[in-house]
Amino acid sequence: MARVDESKILKALKPRRIIYPMLIGMGVVAFFLYRDFNANPISFSKWIEETKEYRLWSGVPILYTIILFITIAFLMMAVRDIAYMWRIRVLTDHKLTWWKSFDVIVLWEFSSALSPPVIGGVGPAIFFLYKEGINAGKSTAIILVSILLDELFYITMVPILFFSLGYDSIFKVENINGYVFEYGLSFLLLIGYIVSFVYSAILCYAVFVNPYTIKSLLSWIFLIPGLRKWRLAVRKSGNQMIVASREMKNKNFSYWFKAVVSTFASWTGRFWVTNFMFMAFFASKLGYFDHFLIYARQLVMRMLFLVSPTPGASGIAEYVFSKFLIDLIPNLSWAVPLALIWRLITYYPYLFLGSIVLPGWIKRVYKKK
C-alpha cells in the first residue's frame, strides 16, 4: 500500500476531527430541544409520571428499570461489535487475534464515524487489515465480502419485514403530515433496495463465478461519453473483484455459515438497541408488533443515512429518528431526547474509543514494521 495512501488515511483519522460530527449532531439536537422547549415544570413532572405509568414492572422503582434496559441497550452494541470481531476473524481464517480484531473493528467504525456514509470507511478498513499483516489482496477481498454480507442481510430482511408488517404500518407515521415524508422514504427504500440488489448480484457473480466478465462489462460501459472519467476507478474495482474471487471462491460451507450468522447477529444487536432503549421508558406501551415495526423502520433509516453528506450522518440521524419513530413514543416531547440517548449509545462511543485506540495501534503496527 502506497505511503501516500497511508499518510492520507492517518491524516483523515486525527482524533481532533471528532469535534465536527459532535458539533453537528449536538447542534441539531439543541435546535429541536430549544424549539420544542416547555418551561412549565408540570411538563417534566408529567414525563416522570408517564414513565412510571408505562414501566414494565409496577413494583420496581422506575430508576432501576431505566438503568436495567439502558444497560441492555449498551450490551446490544457489545453484541454487535463481538459479532463483527467474530466475522473478521472468520474472514481472515483466524489470522487475527481477538484483541487485534477489536482494534480493527473499533478503528473501522471510527473512520466511518468521521466520514460521510456515502464515502464510508472502506479504504481505511483495507489499510487497517494490511497493517495487521494481512496482504493487500486478501485485505481487499475481506472488505468486499464484508460489504456483500451486509448487503445480503439488508436485501433479505427488507422484503420479509415489508410483507409481514405492510406498507401502511412502516411508512404511514402518525403525527407526521404530508406526502413528501411518506412517499419520499418509500421511494428512497425502493431505489436503495434495487441498487443494493443489483450491486450484490454483480459482486456475487464476480466473486463466485467469473470476475473477468464483470470487469470487461464495466470497462465497456464506462467508455460511454460522460462516464469515462470514472473508468479508471471502475477498472480498479474490477481488479479488486478478481482478487476477491481468487481468495474466496473455494471457501467451505462452515466458513460462509459463520460469516452469515455473525453478520445477522451484528445487525440484529445494532437494531435491538432502540427496542431496549424504548423499553427503559415505556415498555408496557410496546407490543410484539411494535418491536418488529421499530426493527423494520431502522432498515429504512439505514438507507437514508447512507446518502447523508455529514460525517456519520450527524444531524440527519437525530432528525430522522425523532420523526420516523414518533408514533411509537407516548409523549411527543420525548422524541428528541430519545434521539440523543440513541446516538450516545450507538455513535459517540466510537468517536471516543477510536481516539483512544488509534495512537496505541499506530505505535504498535509501525513499531512491528
Summarised one tens digit per residue, pLDDT across range 72-91 is: 999 999 999 999 999 999 99
Q: Measuring CA to CA, how many Å separate 160 from each of 15, 153, 164, 329?
A: 40, 11, 6, 24
DSSP state of 339: H
Give the pLDDT confidence score for residue 117 in this predicted structure. Answer: 62
| DSSP label at residue 115 | S
Residues 236-286: tens digit of each pLDDT: 777 777 877 777 777 888 999 999 999 999 999 999 999 999 988 887 788
- Count other Cβ atoms within 10 Å, centred on residue 328: 20
Distance CA 104, CA 84 (A): 10
Can you give the pTM of this predicted structure? 0.85
Distance CA 147, CA 201 (A): 12
pLDDT digits (tens, 9 = 90+) for 320-339: 888 888 888 877 778 888 88
pLDDT band at 41 (very low <50, low <70, confident <90, very high): very low
Owner of C-alpha cell 492520507: 8
- The pLDDT assigned to 4 comes to 40
Q: What is the share, in percent, of the chain residues with pLDDT greater than 90? A: 24
Cα within 13 Å of Cα(273), Cβ side: 24
* pLDDT for the residue 262: 96
Whether the CB-CB separation of 65 and 55 falls below 8 Å is answered with: yes
Q: Is the pLDDT of residue 171 over 70?
A: yes
Q: What pLDDT sits at residue 3?
A: 41
Q: Please indicate whether residue 230 or residue 304 has the higher confidence score (pLDDT).
A: 304
247 vs 293, more confident? 293
